Amino acid sequence: MPSMSSLTSLIDAIRSRPRLQLTLIATGLIAVGGCAALSLKHPVAAPQPLPTIDKLTPIPRASGRANGATLTDEQAQAALITQNDLGAPWTTTRGAATWRDGLLKATSTAAECGRLMEALYTDQLLGGPPRTAIGLDNADTNAQLRYQIGARRPTDVDATLAWLKTLPAQCARFTANTDNGLTEDVRVNEAPLPNVGDARQGLHITIATTHNGQDYVLTLDLAAVRIGQDSFALTNAGLGDVPNNATQAAVQVGALRLADVRRQGRAQV
């Protein structure tokens, strides 16, 4: 990965775009010259394909699923939010944000805090690999949103939600160390979420570090929600401020989409 010294500027103002359908706002880093160490890998003239959806985790097609989910594979895919739900400037992802390796690939001597860093890096927000997921990029700010449908039993999801709820106390502030030798100051706070689903938990996380005299702050919102037998989670992150209203809007759309998919499934039975 190129040196972080190739990054020359942080976006210093939140961009407000009234034409957004859901007034989603995020901030990030402007990449300068080649592949910036903590920016998104955006080609100069990237095509605009349909949203990239991760390959479904193979699950036997049976009426009683081992993970307790009520959705078929097709319904799980249909329950994902898309760029059309969020509106411009959100587009299908053009590659993983390289700050994932640069900042999220880190360890901590505090056990529960290290577990949090691993969950963020591996994208296993609900305690296990997602059933299906989608990535969206904010073309203006280089922020990235990752949204996933869970593949775990409701009791397991509730246990994960209960664990997440303890982190603002257990990991309010801790130190993490990256593979490339950076020391990070990580802070975790509880974040409000819309009153959707049967159980939910939100976190607001900041990861600050300094490299070659330059300060960097990764801001990350995490949201996890269980609705009946099914669940979804998301992260909304960027180098800069990520207002919580963007995450709340994505949670609302996700809950409505999942409820609609489940309602259509019952109607077809």
pLDDT of residue 2: 42
Q: What is the pLDDT of residue 143?
A: 85
Position with higher pLDDT, 86 vs 216: 216
From the CB of residue 127, how many other CB atoms can be counted at a distance below 10 Å?
20
Q: Are 189 and 170 in contact (CB under 8 A)?
A: no
Give the mean pLDDT of 166-182: 95
Residue 204 has what pLDDT? 94
Nearest-angstrom CA–CA distance, 76 and 89: 25
Residue 1 has pLDDT above 60, yes or no: no
Q: What is the pLDDT of residues 66-98, one digit of tens each?
A: 555 578 889 999 999 988 887 787 888 888 887
- Whether 14 shows a pLDDT value over 80: the answer reads no
pLDDT score recorded for residue 215 = 94
